[in-house]
């Protein structure tokens, strides 16, 4: 072998040795890495095991503390809570709930119509109503009035009246007031037709000196009306015949408030015991004038002090005895209004709201006297009078000169915001307290 070949062989051997050495170093590096990883895993496992043990110890310690607290609580006597007694609603609250449940679902048109009491002729358009058929049914469907008032011409016989009232009530969407003027004496629509027993006038009963006679008259009238189907009597008269030639002469029990008040409350009680609602009339005291509002203006010159000490005393006694309704007359009483205002009482907020509602504290139904009297129609249109009466504080409108004009006038006034719907609802609530009174047991 020459030198050149020898050097070539030596280089080959050297390269081989370097490859072997590199492989050995790679293997050693892998082994070292594996050993390092293994050591890290061992350390991590030990740390995890240690942490788990610490957590376990903490949980066991916490559980021991909880068990100690529970053990202590077992020794503590916890008082048994006394259940709250159920809140009992009063009959008045139940009645209001029943009434409002019905009022809230009424359309506005029916709410407004429910403030009117009209004659069957005004409702149906017939000349004289002595029966109730399809015409009455259709009219009540369109105009859900609050009530109807009947006069001599509507009453022919007992069976005729019963059938007419029974049919009328069955056609109505809502309970109706079926009303009549039955005071006794000359104002006796039913008795004058030969139905039931006729009773003496208030004046004659007052002259007996026995207020129980007024009670007996109320029972007699109430029994007759109830048997026929009437549920509202525009009586008793609470006026005093306090001036010469008083327009209430014969219809009033007398002129002395202290003597008259027991007669008024006694007759009222007699009617109510027969399930006939009563209506005291005519606030603030039509008997204080000799003029008749049926035919023109009626004015009283009584002072405010005289009204308060005399006429108001009678109405206050009726209010305290549970008067269902009070009728406000059309008499002008300048002494009771600001600056001698000569607005008819029924349209005066001073008399209706400030005095009757607030001063005397009356929260029952306030109804106008008949709005077709000359004291009203000579100065106001039907819709003007109706709107002003409601704004004054009246709840119900009796016999406007033109029912439809008055009805649509009030309806538009509510839609325009002149009268609020809440104000209408307040009146309806008072009205339905009477109509639904028999639905609440004491």
Q: Which residues are catalytic?
A: 294, 369
Angle formed by the axes of helices 91-104 and 421-435, nearest 10°:
130
Contact 115, 145 (CB under 8 A): no
Contact 335, 284 (CB under 8 A): no
Helices (H), 143-285: 158-171, 202-207, 212-228, 257-272
Those residues whose C-beta lies under 8 Å from the C-beta of residue 233, and which sit 6 or more positions away, are 179, 180, 181, 182, 221, 222, 225, 271, 276, 277, 278, 279
Closest of 393, 299, 384 to residue 341, by C-alpha? 299
Closest of 200, 332, 356 to residue 267, by C-alpha? 200
Provide long-range contacts, Cβ within 8 A and 24+ apart, for 420-424: 421/108, 421/111, 423/390, 424/108, 424/111, 424/112, 424/115, 424/390
Give the C-alpha distances (Å, rounded to integers) separating 129 from 28, 144, 165, 194, 243.
127, 18, 11, 19, 38
Angle value at C-alpha 192, between 190 and 196, nearest 5 degrees: 55
- CA 360/CA 353 separation, integer angstroms: 10
- CA 411/CA 143 separation, integer angstroms: 12
- CA 44/CA 252 separation, integer angstroms: 112
Those residues whose C-beta lies under 8 Å from the C-beta of residue 426, and which sit 6 or more positions away, are 395
Closest of 377, 182, 187, 382 to residue 295, by C-alpha? 377
Tokens of 55: 């957590």
Angle value at C-alpha 247, between 241 and 248, nearest 5 degrees: 45
Phi, psi of 397 (to 5 degrees): -120, 120
* Sheet with 325-328: strands ordered across: 365-368, 325-328, 277-283, 232-233, 177-180, 147-150, 116-118, 397-398
């Amino acid at each position: 072998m020459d030198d050149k070949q020898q050097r070539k062989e030596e280089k080959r051997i050297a390269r081989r040795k370097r490859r072997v050495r590199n492989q050995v170093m790679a293997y050693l590096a892998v082994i070292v890495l594996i050993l390092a990883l293994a050591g890290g895993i061992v350390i991590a496992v030990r740390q995890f095991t240690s942490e788990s043990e610490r957590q376990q110890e903490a949980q066991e310690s916490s559980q021991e503390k909880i068990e100690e607290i529970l053990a202590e609580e077992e020794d503590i006597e916890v008082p048994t809570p006394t259940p709250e007694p159920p809140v009992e609603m009063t009959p008045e609250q139940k009645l209001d709930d029943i009434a409002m449940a019905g009022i809230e679902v009424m359309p506005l048109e029916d709410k407004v119509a429910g403030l009117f009491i009209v004659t069957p002729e005004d409702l149906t358009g017939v000349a004289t109503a002595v029966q109730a058929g399809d015409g009455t049914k259709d009219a009540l469907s369109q105009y859900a009035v609050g009530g109807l008032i009947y006069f001599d011409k509507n009453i022919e016989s007992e069976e005729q009246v019963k059938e007419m009232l029974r049919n009328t009530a069955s056609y109505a969407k809502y309970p109706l007031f079926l009303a009549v003027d039955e005071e006794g004496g000359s104002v006796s629509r039913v008795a004058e037709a030969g139905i039931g027993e006729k009773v003496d006038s208030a004046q004659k009963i007052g002259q007996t000196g026995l207020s129980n006679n007024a009670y007996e008259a109320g029972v007699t009238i109430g029994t007759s009306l109830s048997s026929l189907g009437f549920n509202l009597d525009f009586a008793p008269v609470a006026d005093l015949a306090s001036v010469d030639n008083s327009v209430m002469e014969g219809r009033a029990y007398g002129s002395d408030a202290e003597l008259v008040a027991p007669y008024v409350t006694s007759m009222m009680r007699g009617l109510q015991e027969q399930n006939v609602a009563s209506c005291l009339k005519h606030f603030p005291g039509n008997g204080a004038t000799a003029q008749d509002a049926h035919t023109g203006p009626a004015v009283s010159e009584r002072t405010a002090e005289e009204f308060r000490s005399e006429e108001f005393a009678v109405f206050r006694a009726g209010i305290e005895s549970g008067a269902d309704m009070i009728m406000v007359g059309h008499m002008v009483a300048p002494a009771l209004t600001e600056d001698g205002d000569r607005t008819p009482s029924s349209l005066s907020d001073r008399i209706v709201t400030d005095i009757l509602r607030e001063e005397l504290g009356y929260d029952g139904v306030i109804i106008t006297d008949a709005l077709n009297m000359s004291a009203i129609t000579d100065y106001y249109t039907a819709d003007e009078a109706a709107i002003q009466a409601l704004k004054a504080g009246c709840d119900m409108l009796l016999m406007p000169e033109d029912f439809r004009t008055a009805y649509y006038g009030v309806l538009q006034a509510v839609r325009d915001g002149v009268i609020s719907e809440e104000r209408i609802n307040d009146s309806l609530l008072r009205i339905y307290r009477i109509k639904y009174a028999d639905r609440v047991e004491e």
